[in-house]
Chains A and B, each alone.
Chain A
Amino acid sequence: MKELNPRVVYGETLRSLGEKDQRVVALEADLGGSTMSCLFERAFPDRFFEMGIAEQNMASFAAGLAIEGKIPFIHSFAVFASGRAYDQIRQGICIGNVNVKIVGSSSGLSDFGDGATHQSIEDTALMCSLPNMTVLEPMDAAETEKIVEAAYRHQGPVYIRINRNDLPILYPEDHDFVIGEPVVIREGTDLVVFASGVMVSKAVSAANQLAEMGFSLKVVNVSSLKPLNAERVKELANGVQGIITAQEHSQLGGLASIITSIFKGDGRPIETIGVADRFGQSAKSYEDLLQHYGLTEEEIVASAQRILRR
């Protein structure tokens, strides 16, 4: 499967938005080479603000730019973008529904080497709990482009989780991303898995394995974590025996919580795959970490088998 880096595509997309619209500005907290806001900086130095390693000021400063009609994209690692500047996002951006786009790069465990301080498995919970906030997590580079364009068109605050590493391209070419809508990546009839980010490709691999065993797993990409069309989610689970969720995030407050609350009282078994209530750590490779925390296709297959054996 073809793999591409979501960060690079992110930077290219932001640059092309900058070409199209003078109102687009970018702010960076000294991670431009990682977040790839450097591509925007090179093209539009006058509309690029290096804010130094000061994420809190960056968030509030962006609020001021947005109040005056600019469309600011602010950048840092997801853990700092969402956590270090949480109060600034809450007070200055969300309460006033201010049009700031927050780009949380190197999300989840994808900054594998840097360890717990730089990994972000709580950001979905933090950002989804804020009224007026839209929370998006692309599953690959192709969807990253669509999501960044949708975030730009959306009036109001948006948080985007972007993975640091190359990911397989799964996004259907003719599909247009719509905020709030889950998308079927692979049809299936026995079970459904609601996945986001890197876990979508793991879910597709799991579906292949299960198919060999004679079971049919539907894979749904939930890249719009908030808002999320709950009726559509329920409809996508019509007729299946059980439901699985998979996100590279804490089990608390992420996709596991979101989907579980939609199926409250449903009665069918639900299995959730995510990071148990603990922090990340350093590893030599991304795959090692995903394995260690159970974020694998094997875990999805095992969850499916647990449901089917009931």
Chain B
Amino acid sequence: MEQLIKELESRARTLRYRIVKMIGPEEKGHLGGSCSIADVVTALYFHKMRHDPKQPKLRTRDRFLLSKGHAALVQYAALAECGYFPLSELDTLKELGSRLQGHPDMMKLPGVEANTGSLGQGLSIASGMAAALKLDGLDSKVYCVVGDGEMAEGQIWEAAMAASFYKLDNLVAILDRNGLQATGRIQERFNTNPVREKWESFGWHVLEIDGHDFAQIIEALDTADQVQGKPVMIIANTVKGKGIPFAEGVASFHNGTMTQEQFARACQLLEAEECEGR
């Protein structure tokens, strides 16, 4: 387990490094929300999920969707590191004609399961996928990351009702609870709390973890496998911008711009940690 956690921590640093490099200096990019969920995404792609980069449409794979589609960078980094497409393609992010769109596009990039980005919709799509898998008698899981700002969308609660009504225990939602929406603290701007009670009252099995602690992440994902008759919500308490000191907990880095200096500092830090980790 210790060895696994070390490996995953190193992977997560690499993903954050790729995210920083993809955005680059003096360019806008969704740094904060990509870094807050980076550890969960790492645990899913490099440990938990059954998937094969060589057969991205394999029927028996587990599915991963970002309902908060603006965190696409972390998924792109994970997919490239897994070998879904060449790492060099990460440099084409948001370029005209690139497969790496500002928000995930299933038509363009292998490994992307649905078009998300208009907030509130991904959890419904994930629920429909989970329902189809049940109809077909497959035991694949559908993992779906939801944002805490996104919880203000009414459709999230429509999906919450539908998934519990249809007993979609093959659906695991992970709430990236970083406490910040684009314009400030969720508690002050538009409070979506209390979170746990809401999901429980909607009929979900709720777990709550530190979203940057791999032991807790792995344990929660394993616990989710045991739950029957209910969808699972893992509330992952996270820090927006995690791993990038100047961006941690800073709302403006939701879709922020790094100065040349900040960019250099972030690269240096993540590279140094990377060497240390190995």
Contacts and interface: CB of A to CB of B under 8 A. Distances in A.
A binds B: yes
Interface of A: 25, 46-47, 49, 51-52, 54, 56-57, 59-70, 72, 87-88, 90-92, 95-97
B162 A61 contact: yes
A206 B132 CA distance: 49
Interface string B118-141: 101110111111111101100000
Given A47-B135, A92-B125, A52 B107 contact: no
Interface size class of B (residues with CB under 8 A): 20 to 34
Given A57-B159, A61-B131, 20 more contacts: A47-B135, A49-B131, A52-B161, A56-B121, A56-B124, A57-B162, A59-B124, A60-B121, A63-B125, A63-B128, A64-B124, A64-B132, A67-B106, A67-B128, A67-B132, A69-B132, A88-B118, A88-B121, A91-B116, A91-B117
10 contacts: A52-B158, A52-B161, A56-B155, A57-B155, A61-B162, A65-B131, A67-B128, A67-B132, A92-B115, A92-B124
A67 B114 contact: yes
Given A64-B131, A65-B129, A54 B118 contact: no
A96 B125 CA distance: 12
Given A64-B128, A91-B117, A46 B159 contact: no
Nearest to B131: A65
B113 interface: yes
B115 A96 contact: yes
A56 B158 contact: yes
Given A56-B155, A67-B125, A68-B132, A91 B161 contact: no
A61 B125 contact: yes
A35 B121 CA distance: 25
A66 to B, nearest CB: 8
Contact of B159 (A25, A61, A62, A69): A61
Contacts of A57: 124, 127, 155, 158-159, 162
B2 to A, nearest CB: 38
B166 to A, nearest CB: 7
Contacts of A49: 131, 166
A70 B130 CA distance: 12
Contact of B132 (A46, A54, A65, A97): A65
Contact of B130 (A60, A62, A64, A97): A64
B105 interface: yes
B93 to A, nearest CB: 18
The 3 closest A-B pairs by CB, nearest first: A64-B128, A60-B124, A68-B132
A96 B105 contact: yes
A16 to B, nearest CB: 20
Interface in B6-28: none
B114 A63 contact: yes
A116 B157 CA distance: 28
Given A67-B113, A67-B114, A91-B121, A61 B128 contact: yes
A57 B125 CA distance: 8
A68 B124 CA distance: 14
B17 to A, nearest CB: 30
A46 B166 CA distance: 11
Contact of B129 (A59, A64, A95, A96): A64
A60 B117 contact: no
B127 A64 contact: yes
A63 B124 CA distance: 9
B121 to A, nearest CB: 5
B103 to A, nearest CB: 9
Nearest to A97: B107
A95 B105 contact: yes
Contacts of B106: 67, 96
Nearest to B166: A49
B118 A87 contact: yes
Contacts of B165: 52
A92 B112 CA distance: 13
A61 B127 CA distance: 6
Contacts of B120: 56
Contact of B114 (A46, A59, A72, A92): A92
Contacts of B116: 91-92
A96 B105 CA distance: 7
Contacts of A51: 162
Counting chain A CB atoms within 10 Å of each CB, which of B115, B125, B133 scores highest? Answer: B125
A60 B159 contact: yes
Counting chain A CB atoms within 10 Å of each CB, which of B105, B124, B155 scores highest? Answer: B124
